[in-house]
Amino acid sequence: MGKIIEGDKIALKLFKEIKDEVSKLNRAPVLGVVLVGNNFASASYVKGKIKAGKKVGIEVKVFDYPQTATESEILEKIQNLNNDEEVDGIIVQLPLPVHLNESIVVNSVRSSKDVDGFTFYNAGRLFRGKPLFKPCTPKGILHMLRESNIEVANKHVVVVGRSNLVGLPLSRLFVEADATVSICHSKTKNLEAITSQADILCVAIGQKEFIKSKHVKKGAVVIDVGINRDDNNKLVGDVDFNDVFEKVSYITPVPKGVGPLTISMLLMNTLSAYKGDFYE
């Protein structure tokens, strides 16, 4: 029988800690969110960030641009936010419309305000073990394992997915935590032979319910990062929850698993940017 890792409850505890800290500050920390175009999923993620910010006293200011916005308009806005002393963190909600160069836009965020940890500078620092800000989803996953008393050191962790957003930084954090890490992707041959060796299996591929019981070792811990819609428009993960449930020792559900931790870590990083207590 599996045990569900309740991400929403772990996140609530973090919200409380952040709220307590924020209540002692001279002003509310501010997170600037640059949103371009009319991507439905992005708009709903931004709403979630505003709501979570309200819960802890962090102001989330959204700068909403139409699909037709030019790169120079967006870069000018980010420059203003970089120079605004009352803006602590800045994120660019991805994906951007295709006519905007994502690398140029994301890298224009000042590294000391890059609370997503997405700039090349911060990604480089992460891979040298000295990040200013750890990317939110990977940081949230390591936190939820710690809170669930799941040992990482000396474990074989298999990460399926090698994106710059999730798979690669997550793998880096596991290496740092003394795990032995295998990284799989769409070109991996015989995926099942590798995933079924995992003590901890993390899946971030964006393929609904792709991972089945045959991919999972008995007693494994399964972390499902995926957010997909099934045919009935219901949110489902990259793991077939019902198929693997009996076999695993722990599993994160979708929703209420990794997602709430991602938002908590974004707020945590914003608080850290306000305090300036990140590593220099």
Shortest distance in whole angstroms from residue 139 CB to ligand NDP? 11
Shortest distance in whole angstroms from residue 228 CB to ligand NDP? 6
Shortest distance in whole angstroms from residue 261 CB to ligand NDP? 7
Dihedral-angle region of residue 190 (phi above 0 means left; psi in -120 to 50 means alpha; beta otherwise):
left
Is 185 an interacting residue with respect to ligand NDP (CB under 6 A)?
Answer: yes
Is 194 an interacting residue with respect to ligand NDP (CB under 6 A)?
Answer: no
Strand partners, 137: none
Residue 91 to residue 111: CA distance in whole angstroms: 11
Q: Give the residue, chosen from 112, 137, 171, 264, that forms a contact with ligand NDP under the rule CB under 6 A.
A: 137
Q: Are 179 and 152 in contact (CB under 8 A)?
A: yes
Is 265 an interacting residue with respect to ligand NDP (CB under 6 A)?
Answer: no
Is 148 an interacting residue with respect to ligand NDP (CB under 6 A)?
Answer: no
Residue 49 appears among annotated catalytic residues: yes
Residue 197 appears among annotated catalytic residues: no
Q: Which is nearer to ligand NDP, 142 or 165 (CB)?
A: 165
Residue 78 to residue 33: CA distance in whole angstroms: 10
At 145 the three-state DSSP class reads helix
Annotate 187-221 with DSSP letters as a single string: T-SSHHHHHTT-SEEEE-S--TT-B-GGGS-TT-E
The token pair that represents 46 in the structure block = 């931004």
Active-site annotation, residues: 49, 93, 116
Residues that bind ligand NDP (CB under 6 A): 137, 160-163, 165-167, 184-188, 191, 204-207, 210, 225-228, 258-259, 262
